[in-house]
Structure 1
Amino acid sequence: MDETTTALDAYEISTDAARLDRARVHHWLSTDAYWALGRSREKQDRAIDGSLNFGAYETASGELVAYARVVTDHATFAWLCDVYVDRSTRGKGLGTALVEAVRDHLAPFGVTRVVLATHDAHGVYAKAGFEPLDVPEHWMALRFR
């Protein structure tokens, strides 16, 4: 499955990484996303290159208005990250549609777990079926900072 395309009103969601406006994604994340503030363009480009990317585009103009990235083996596990909806487009259900597109794209691969971390958007993810971890104390992290 190379590309997923769905529509929500005037938007198209696609996994075609060649369509991404990388400069815009970098600007959004490095200046307005609490988890990626100050991220370098080089690091963002490497992240895009190593991930499954989802872009949401205005159908009429083709302009990128939302982005999500998934790190996955396409078999057992996926991590949803870098979900961002342009401020001018928020409140229209696009974030939920983007997360649902990720879920629907991964389902045929038999991925058994998709995880994410968020400080403030639990409601958006819950609409797509995400739940808090049953036993969060089983999870660990190795940090290099």
Structure 2
Amino acid sequence: MDGYRISCQLNEMSFEVIHDFISSSYWAAGMPADTLHKALANSLCFAVLNQQNNTVAFARVITDKATFAYLADVFVVAGERGEGLSKYLVEYIVNHDDLQGLRRFMLATFDAHSLYEKFGFSAVDATESQSLMQIRDADVYLRDS
């Protein structure tokens, strides 16, 4: 896209922008900076940068780069929405060399199904959803450590 580029280099991404957004999101409210640093360091990260090299969109993939990947923390900053950046970012991610040949590529979303369906994602069918399990601690970032 004209005026934008995607980087996978953490040192080119604004940690402050990423942390501000994610720590105030519905899915990771209150995430401590140290926790996010660790998560980013152990993930395949993608940022859309504008011509001034400002981080305007972000996503990360948790993966073994062979069999499984989980797309997480996808966002576009408020002032840049409506420009097609989410499509640009997701298309780049699903075509990334390290994410080819996977048996399963998952994500969770409340409100962006139509975006991800354009890139091959679909709802887990009823049979498979019965086999998925989790340990979930939704308030982990809100408790005193």
Compared CA separation, residues 89 and 110, structure 1 to 2 (3 A): same
Q: Distance in 2 between matches of 1:104 and 1:117?
A: 19
User: Quick check: 95-104 or 8-17, which moved more?
Assistant: 8-17
Confirm or deny that 1:121 pairs with 2:112.
Answer: yes
Aligned residues: 136
After superposition, the CA RMSD in angstroms is: 1.4
Say which one has the larger Rg.
2
Confirm or deny that 1:71 pairs with 2:55.
Answer: no
User: What letter matches 1:101 in structure 2?
Assistant: Y
Query: Displaced runs of 4+ in structure 1, greater than 6 A?
Result: none
Compared CA separation, residues 9 and 93, structure 1 to 2 (3 A): same
Q: TM-score, normalised by structure 2?
A: 0.87
> What's the % identity of the aligned pairs?
38
The Cα of 1:107 is off from its aligned counterpart by 6.4
Confirm or deny that 1:55 pairs with 2:47.
Answer: yes
In the alignment, structure 2 segments of 5+ residues that lack a partner are: 139-145
In the alignment, structure 1 segments of 5+ residues that lack a partner are: 1-7
Q: Distance in 2 between matches of 1:21 and 1:108?
A: 24
Q: Distance in 2 between matches of 1:21 and 1:85?
A: 13
The Cα of 1:62 is off from its aligned counterpart by 1.0
Confirm or deny that 1:12 pairs with 2:17.
Answer: no
Compared CA separation, residues 55 and 140, structure 1 to 2 (3 A): same
